[in-house]
Structure 1
Amino acid sequence: MTTRARTATTPGLRTEHLTSTTPPPGPRLPLAVQTLLFGSFRHRWLPVLRRRHGDVIRLRIYPERSVVEIADVEHIRAIFSGSPSIFHAGEGNMILKPAMGEHSVLLTDEDVHLRARKLLMPAFNGAALRGYRDMITRLADEEAGRWPTGTPFPSHARMQALTLEVILRVVFGVSAGARLDELRRLLSRIVDVGPIDLIGWYNPKLQRFGPWRRYAVAQRRVDELLYAEIAERRRADDLADRNDVLSRLLTVSGEEDRLSDAELRDQLITLLLAGHETTATALAWALHELARDPAQLAAATRAADAGDDRHLEAVAKESMRLHPVISEVARKLTRDIEIGGYRIPAGHTVMPSIALVHGDAGHHPDPREFRPERFLGDGPPTGTWLPFGGGVRRCLGAGFSLLEATIVLRAVLSRYHLAPDRERPEGARPRNITMVPARGARIAVTQRGQTVTG
């Protein structure tokens, strides 16, 4: 029986009146082996497990130990629309706590989360996005103007530098000064971690040695810089005239909404890290794919020349589908549930799989092909494109990310012709909780109208 047929006959989600006692199937490999496979090869391993076990797969990985991957769209929709008191996204994201902090909007649940989300939302609503457009356009044009022509270079690094600059302006309103210069350098170090580095987050003894020690030192220095920026900003007498996130958070009305320095630090570092790394990676993958597909490159170039933002946004969306930057989202259970005919106990983490849904030919025909036109017209079926999660925990910065990606693609494509540095496409490698181009999405660019070489 195929996975698709098996899914069609299984019951949906239950949170009460449970009848099943059957645990989900999954591999029997040791925890250490499963952790290694998930951390470094999940983009290859999970499709194999789905073919073998179906749409509900139990894994044992460090540090959560018991997690359940969910690949069926209806099950995922039920989880996203389920009670936030049962499906704790904050607890599910606890792997990020050492970097983001306990107050982060990504790591809190229920009323505490709603409070943080309410405070941050004004910085990413429609009016705010319109206000960022000129700033992003200017920075994107300046960045593209610095690119070397005719010599291959890693586009991922350039996208990281650009998106970090953009989010620094959004968070702080300024980008000049020795403190922010140092912060730029250290934030680049903070996001550059692999699966082995993550182990050190949960083992204080390891933090005395080698790369774990260097990471801990960098993180402490980032905290010092952020607290210094917060203290200086609290003394400013023009906060009401500023629109950056830090100033907004310092001028909220109501005693219950005022944030402590520790709370401010956690929200700022969350925005700085999550607000640039994922968009940079999605843009790098988009450039990687366009450089290898002359027809799609020509169509995207025409869109850039014509100001067709809808097509450029479709390019960004297809990049996010084909190369999910984050392969799943997590919800930790506060009570037993039943899903797909299997019982999952409280304390387990269910993980709706973005990667498995995006790679499913039943939702996206020829899923390994780069086809931005999927997102023109009616687009893919509802619930089959999930780069920003879903439900009440859908990413606050989704609109910001797509706006930024569209502007950057226009700035690059209106100036350059893209070419790959070699014929074979790049694979993916893990970087913190993301999957990035293994060689940095290397491309070569030439000014439009010139002959492409290399």
Structure 2
Amino acid sequence: MCLYTMGKFLMKRLPIELERSIIIHNVMRYSSSSSKPFESIPGLSSLPIIGPIHHFIPGIGSVGLRASFFELSKVLFEKYGSIVKLDGLLARASMVILYEPDHFEQIYRSEDSVAPSRPGFDTLVYYRTKLRKSTYDGVYGLTTAEGMQWRDFRTKVNPALLKPKLVKLYTPVLEEIAKDMVARLTMLKNDTYLQENLDLEITKWSLESIAVIGLGSRLGCLEDNLSEDHPARILIKCSQDIINLSWKLEFFPSLWKYYPTSNYKKIIKTFDLQWDTSAKFIEEARRIINGREHNIPEEDKSIIEKLLDIDDRVATMMANEMLLAGIDTVAFTTVALLYNLATNPKVQDKLREEIRLPEPKNRYLKACLKESLRLYPVIPANLRRTTKDHFVAGYHIPKGVDVIAPNEFLSRMDKNYPRASEFIPERWLVEKSDPIYYGNCHPMVTLPFGFGVRSCIGRRIAELEIEVFIKRLLNDVKVTWEGPPVQVISRVMNSFKKPYYFKFETAH
């Protein structure tokens, strides 16, 4: 600690990022000579082959089966402290959960080089790189690619997805979709159907929005009585089935690597169906682009059109991943924001006042979204797989270990945010001298879009979709919640336990 303090004193005139890097390097070098072995990190005991799985058996295990990763993080923290080891299960990598942001920052920054490792699901990796290798032809996308393959793909798609002009280009059409969605919610507002299906309706809106951005055309997701065999409905079901099946295959004992289990067969069929269905939409977008009789300005091209100019295979893969990973994530974030606004009516009224200004700046809207993401992130934790040795918290963490940052749990701790469990958008707007100012918290605590070069490439698009929809909805509609507090369930990503107790009424 003395070394750390000395480093801060000597580096206080340097930029904060350089300061952090130098201090972390010095602390790591100092710690390497006095660290305890990896095996001595506190954590759940393990059995041969099955690892610590017996601790999670309901009614028998010391931890039990928890509904959310937040609850699991809380139990392990209270039981073992600020660093917890979970040995690998059935040949999977061992995990270390770090509860001190300085500790996982040390590792994340050290690993944040050209292509930091964040492994995808084994089933999807196997599907793309082995089972359907000829289809993907070495282009594995952002969800499964690693190393320089990932870096090459990300470098190609960055210009099309990260330009600020996206806001100007897509806002008008997203406003049309939001208007249609508000009309649909207004029509269904007194229907008990929404208690069990609000997430489906919001997901339809999310898919319609991401499709118009990625493909340049609407899919018709918001039509009345959308049939089960409609391509848009198939994509939604595929996305949900992939999440549920991945949860069973990746986080519970499964022998799919040794023989094709029932769930393995189901997920392979679902991967095929998702790819084939999205490919039809992509081919239709390509047909429209190729059939155009005139050129359009570069700034008016859809994302897939920009990517087709660069690399045909990359364009197809990126569009496919947008239709897979970009719908449930946005839907959950939107429902979470609606819940926070419904249960905090004064905040909702204040936001509505901003929205109705002649030229709204959206500052309070953006603060509401940030605060909602702090409390209800889509992904409850971040992960990096170590590519080298690390020495942190007095322990040696070797290469090949998954280092977990339990960001949702940390974001709800009062030691990190005053009144952490409360929805207070003002914490993102107040002066630095205010006790609730968000900047008083360690910058690594809340990372809803990930960290570093592997942070979410769709952040700007997701925020735009949500902001446009919330502005349109709250201008016309008052949202209330008439039920018990919402409960979160973690199945790969967070979701809400049904039913939903929203009420939608005309706003005055």
Fold match by TM threshold 0.5? yes
Query: CA offsets per residue over residues 136-162 of structure 1, 9 Å max, x none?
Result: 121111101111233452433322111
Deviation of 1:49 after TM superposition, in Å, equals: 1.4
Structure 1 residues 303 and 354, CA, compared in 2 at 3 Å: closer, same or farther? same
One-letter amino acid of the structure 2 residue matched with residue 120 of structure 1: V
Q: Given the alignment of the two structures, is residue 249 of structure 1 paired with residue 307 of structure 2, yes or no?
A: yes
Distance (whole Å) between structure 2 residues aligned to residue 384 and residue 228 of structure 1: 41
**What does residue 7 of structure 1 align with?**
none
Partner-residue secondary structure (3-state), 1:321:
helix
Give matches, 1:274-353, under 5 Å: 274-306=325-357, 307-353=360-406
One-letter amino acid of the structure 2 residue matched with residue 291 of structure 1: A
Q: Which moved more, 1:68-77 or 1:223-232?
A: 223-232
Query: CA offsets per residue over residues 283-312 of structure 1, 9 Å max, x none?
Result: 101111222222222222222223351111
Structure 1 residues 118 and 372, CA, compared in 2 at 3 Å: closer, same or farther? same
**What does residue 222 of structure 1 align with?**
274
Q: Given the alignment of the two structures, is residue 439 of structure 1 paired with residue 498 of structure 2, yes or no?
A: yes
One-letter amino acid of the structure 2 residue matched with residue 50 of structure 1: F
One-letter amino acid of the structure 2 residue matched with residue 69 of structure 1: I
Structure 1: where are the runs of 5+ without partners?
A: 1-10, 253-257, 450-454
**What does residue 8 of structure 1 align with?**
none
Distance (whole Å) between structure 1 residues aligned to residue 461 and residue 259 of structure 2: 37
Structure 1 residues 177 and 134, CA, compared in 2 at 3 Å: closer, same or farther? closer
Give matches, 1:46-445, under 5 Å: 46-60=73-87, 62=89, 64-84=92-112, 88-91=116-119, 97=125, 103-121=140-158, 122-147=160-185, 148-151=188-191, 153-154=194-195, 155-176=198-219, 182-193=230-241, 197-200=246-249, 203=256, 209=262, 213-230=265-282, 236-237=289-290, 241=296, 243-252=301-310, 258-260=311-313, 263-306=314-357, 307-377=360-430, 378=432, 379-381=437-439, 382-422=443-483, 424-431=484-491, 433-439=492-498, 441-445=500-504
Q: Which moved more, 1:215-224 or 1:280-289?
A: 215-224
One-letter amino acid of the structure 2 residue matched with residue 44 of structure 1: E
Query: CA offsets per residue over residues 100-131 of structure 1, 9 Å max, x none?
Result: 87712233344322322222222231012221
**Matched-pair contact (CA < 8 Å) for 2:115–2:147:** no
Structure 1 residues 177 and 441, CA, compared in 2 at 3 Å: closer, same or farther? closer
1:28 equivalent among 18, 21, 45: 45
Partner-residue secondary structure (3-state), 2:403:
strand
State, as a whole percentage, how many aligned pairs show the same letter.
Answer: 19
Query: CA offsets per residue over residues 161-217 of structure 1, 9 Å max, x none?
Result: 111111111121112489x984422221223246665334772688663x6544432
Partner-residue secondary structure (3-state), 2:200:
helix
**Matched-pair contact (CA < 8 Å) for 1:419–1:445:** yes
Structure 2: where are the runs of 5+ without partners?
A: 1-22, 58-63, 130-138, 222-227
Partner-residue secondary structure (3-state), 2:68:
helix
One-letter amino acid of the structure 1 residue matched with residue 43 of structure 2: G
Partner-residue secondary structure (3-state), 1:365:
coil
Partner-residue secondary structure (3-state), 1:417:
strand
The aligned length equals: 429
Deviation of 1:53 after TM superposition, in Å, equals: 2.2
**Which one has a bigger Cα radius of gyration?**
2
Query: CA offsets per residue over residues 69-100 of structure 1, 9 Å max, x none?
Result: 12222223333322445983333665763688
